[in-house]
Amino acid sequence: MTSGALLGKVVIVTGASRGIGAAVARRFAAEGARVAAVARTQHEGDFHLPGSLDRTVADIVAAGGEAVAIGADLASPETDRAAIVEQTVAAFGAPVEVLVNNAAAAFHIPTLQVSERRLRVAFEVNVWSPWALTQAVLPAMLDRGQGWVVNISTQAVDAPPGPPFSAEAVAGGIGGSVTYGGSKAMLERMTVGAAVDLYGRGVCLNALRPTAGVHTEGADQLADWTGVLVEPIESMAEAVLALATCDVDCSGRVTDSLHLLMELGRPVRDLAGDALVEGWQPSDIPAQMAPFGVV
Average pLDDT value for residue range 202-213: 96
pLDDT band at 219 (very low <50, low <70, confident <90, very high): confident
Question: Roughly what angle, to the nearest 10 degrees, separates helices 257-264 and 233-243?
Answer: 60
Cβ atoms 102, 14 nearer than 8 A: yes
Contacts of 228 (CB under 8 A, 6+ apart): 212, 213, 292
Residue pLDDT, tens place only, 91-105: 999 999 999 999 999
- What's domain 10-290's superfamily in CATH? NAD(P)-binding Rossmann-like Domain (3.40.50.720)
Q: Above 90 in pLDDT, residue 151?
A: yes
Measured distance CA(190)–CA(186) in Å, rounded: 6
Q: Read off the pLDDT of each residue in 172-194 and give the average, rounded to a whole number.
A: 90
**Cα 247–chain centre separation:** 19
- pTM for the whole structure: 0.96
Mean pLDDT of 143-164: 94
Task: Give me the percent of the chain exceeding a pLDDT of 70.
Answer: 98
Residue ranges per domain, the chain?
Answer: 10-290
What is d(CA 17, CA 231) in angstroms, rounded to the nearest whole number? 20
At 100, the amino acid letter reads V
By CB atoms closer than 10 A (0-12, 13-18, 19+), residue 25 is buried
Task: Given the residues 123, 128, 180, 280, select the one marked as catalytic.
Answer: 180
* Segment 8-56, tens digit of pLDDT: 999 999 999 999 999 999 999 999 999 999 999 999 999 988 999 999 9
**Amino acid 1: pLDDT:** 62
Whether cis (ω within 30° of 0) applies to the bond prior to 291 is: no
Q: Does position 261 have pLDDT exceeding 80, yes or no?
A: yes
Query: So what's the pLDDT on residue 254?
Result: 98
C-alpha–C-alpha distance, residues 84 and 124, integer Å: 15
Whether 199 is catalytic is no
The C-alpha atoms of residue 128 and residue 112 are separated, in whole angstroms, by 24
Res 7: pLDDT? 98
Whether pLDDT at 172 is above 70: no
Task: Choose among 20, 15, 12, 36: nearest CA to 217.
Answer: 20
Instruction: Give the H/E segment covering residue 203.
Output: strand 203-209
Q: What is the pLDDT of residue 83?
A: 98
- Say if CB 180 and CB 106 are below 8 A apart: yes
Longest CA pairwise span in the chain (Å): 56
